[in-house]
A = this chain, B = another copy of it.
Amino acid sequence: MPKVTFLPSQRQVTVAEGENLLRAAMLAGVHVNASCGGQGACGKCRVLLESGQVEDGFSERLSEEDRAQGFRLACRSTVREDLQVRIPIESQLDSRILTLQPPGQGVAFQLPDKDAAWLQERDLFVPPFDLKYLELEPPGAANNENDLNRLLRHLREKEDESGLQVDFDFIRKLPDTLREDDFKVTVALARPVKPERQSVLVNVQPGDRTKEHYALAVDIGTTTIYGQLLDLFTGQVLAEEGAYNAQISYGEDVISRIMYALKPGGLEKMQQVVVGTINEIIHQLLARTEVNPDDISYLTVAGNTTMTQLFLAVQPKYIRLSPYTPAACCYPLVKAVDLGLDLGRHVPTLVFPAVASYVGGDVVAGVLGSMMYLEEPLTLFIDLGTNGEIVIGNREWLACAACSAGPAFEGGGIEHGMRATKGAIEDFSLNPLTCEPMITTVGMARPKGICGSGLINIVAALFEAGLIDERGKFQTDLPTDRVRRGESGLEYVLAFAQDTDVGRDITLNEIDIDNLIRAKGAMYSGYLTLLEGVGLSVENLDRVILAGGFGRYVNIEKAITVGLLPELPLEKFSYIGNGSLLGARMVALSNRLRADVWRIINMTTNFELSEVAAYMDYYVGSLFLPHTERRYFPAVNERISQMHQVTGRLCREKA
């Protein structure tokens, strides 16, 4: 893998061959002015190649002379070999500032996948269904007992399976199936989660199908639904598919879905629509893998409380009405066909139950997937989103809460906010002295707006550089035209109109910043409330696990800088991916872990934050960058003080 050395700082980074040079600089923590997102339009990201060659690197903003001298536009350069790259003077940071800015992308390391091997090592690969191939004696004049008895007797005598329950649909399928291949059949036995309960005969197929055995795991997100097709014979994930939740047409957030469900026929409609999306995913998974639908035995589904109740057509009205009560703490297995899913009549659906109205089955699945409920370390589990869910605890206890963060982490409520799709500014660096930005966008396209992770990175950089104070208010005496008074008050220009894809300046204003501060304040005061509620504090945390799409991209250092994440060493942070899907998969592969769903529910205490007197105090205290209480963020405060000594700006006045 090529190594890129940036001069004069000597900072080095090893990147994948084919990486973009501007991204390489961002990864190395090296600032290069850049504001067009990677299209070569602004021409600001000129760098001088001192050794090695890049692919491309040109645009009309680079003169023939520049080219000849070895200048390239970083945003247009593809790294193919080791390079020495000099940052020109206009992009260089003051060396003292460089020292204060930590290098590295700062994202959490991803926890190793809990795959089949992982489960097998722990003796947890115990699929919830067993397939058994049976060769029955065909009936004759002297022995014409009924089909079911014949089968049950064989199972009792030859397979030591007795006391079985029988599913009604099994009986419907039995007579014809037995005779399809001369009384040679494969039966599926659903195993009980408690050993003292009965196994259930649920499916019968002609011939030997014991090696063709599959399950599905589904995560129903408010926006996106993911499904995985699992091989219950090997434990492998055969395929994964995702699709937008078609309920989006009826409202973007859970509240508008709940409101829609209150209309006549609305609940049924919401149910059909989400099932429609899941069916689409199932069809894609089956088509890709050429798996026979009849070989699927099991479906596990996790989602937030509202998504779960809509999926099950259980009235979600009371989720949004005080005192916010979900319908149930547990759901019996439901037949997939009874929900409208295109699966065999024998397929049961295990639905993860919720802890509370705003701490749903997706969080339960995530906690299960994280294994934090089985381990010693005191863990903070965070799923960031409009509704931010927090779980704190270890194998002895769990406490959870939901923080109403608002849509800022998803780019909502921000003037130029957008989802993390092509053209969204996702990373940001700032030259504190010149106030010039370095931006990268999703897909290296011309910028269209700012996504959630970009928002955090921008605010962190503005704050560190002293362009905004701890209340998020802009300084006005800055040596730049990028901070100016716009229609919504003071703002910073991330990209001027000519460099964007939207034909107008992309800016971040104080109202946007305030939205972020309130969002991160809601989260941080949530951690404090839970920790204080059990007599602990932030420094007791042994680790932080991030889940959800947002967790993958958030820069930990910068999220700490703004006070969204607690100040802990980077190595204590890890990322679990889609925790909901992970938990759903683990339960689909492990009947032992299935019991842990109820275990997690039972060991979790929900804190309804609006009912905890201290929460509002914590919240108000969290409405500063990084926090009113300096002691929570000693390193951030120290770094910023030093930064201010360099820049000569002193933003912090509060003691």
Contact = CB atoms under 8 A, between A and B. Distances in A.
Contact of A140 (B176, B179, B323, B354): B323
Contact of A147 (B148, B179, B326): B326
A144 B323 contact: yes
A148 B327 CA distance: 6
A27 interface: no
A166 interface: yes
B328 A142 contact: no
A202 to B, nearest CB: 11
Interface string A275-317: 0000000000000000000000000000000000000111101
Contact of A611 (B141, B147, B610): B141
A154 to B, nearest CB: 14
B332 A175 contact: no
Contacts of A635: none
28 contacts: A141-B322, A141-B611, A143-B323, A145-B329, A146-B325, A146-B327, A146-B328, A146-B329, A146-B356, A147-B318, A147-B327, A148-B327, A148-B328, A148-B330, A149-B328, A165-B332, A166-B328, A166-B330, A167-B332, A168-B331, A171-B312, A171-B328, A172-B312, A172-B313, A172-B327, A175-B314, A175-B317, A179-B318
Interface in A107-166: 139-150, 165-166
Given A175-B314, A175-B315, A314-B171, A326 B165 contact: no
Indicate the size class of the contact surface on chain A.
35 or more
A165 B197 CA distance: 12
B608 A146 contact: no
A172 B326 contact: no
A16 interface: no
Contacts of A322: 141
Nearest to A200: B332
Contact of A176 (B139, B179, B315): B315
A288 B609 CA distance: 55
A488 to B, nearest CB: 37
A327 B168 contact: no
Nearest to A321: B179
Contact of A328 (B165, B174, B334): B174
A182 B317 CA distance: 16
Query: A147, A175, A330, A611 — which one has the most chain B CB atoms within 10 A of its CB?
Result: A175
A463 B246 CA distance: 81
Interface of A: 139-150, 165-168, 171-172, 174-176, 179, 312-315, 317-318, 322-332, 334, 354, 356-357, 608, 610-611
A611 to B, nearest CB: 5
A171 B331 contact: yes
B168 A329 contact: no
B608 A147 contact: no
Q: Please name the 7 residue pairs, one residue from A and one from B, whose CB atoms are nearest each other, closest first.
A: A144-B323, A148-B328, A146-B326, A149-B329, A175-B315, A171-B328, A175-B327
A329 B312 CA distance: 33
Given A140-B323, A144-B356, A175-B317, 18 more contacts: A139-B323, A141-B323, A141-B610, A144-B325, A145-B325, A146-B356, A147-B318, A147-B327, A149-B328, A168-B312, A168-B331, A168-B332, A168-B334, A171-B312, A171-B331, A172-B315, A174-B327, A176-B315
Contacts of A317: 175-176
Given A148-B330, A168-B332, A328-B148, A611 B142 contact: yes
Contacts of A318: 147, 175, 179
Contacts of A315: 172, 175-176
Given A165-B332, A166-B330, A139 B172 contact: no
Nearest to A172: B314
A293 to B, nearest CB: 21
Contacts of A325: 139, 144-147, 150, 175
Residue in A146, A325, A357, A610 whose Cβ sees the most chain B Cβ within 10 Å = A146
A139 B172 CA distance: 44
Contacts of A143: 323
Contacts of A144: 323-325, 356-357, 608
A327 B357 CA distance: 46
B139 A332 contact: no
A608 B143 CA distance: 10
Given A166-B330, A174-B328, A334-B168, A354 B146 contact: yes
Given A142-B611, A148-B327, A332 B172 contact: no
A327 B175 CA distance: 6
Contacts of A326: 146-147
A192 to B, nearest CB: 12
Which of A322, A323, A324, A608 gathers most chain B CB within 10 Å? Answer: A323
A548 to B, nearest CB: 23
A568 to B, nearest CB: 32
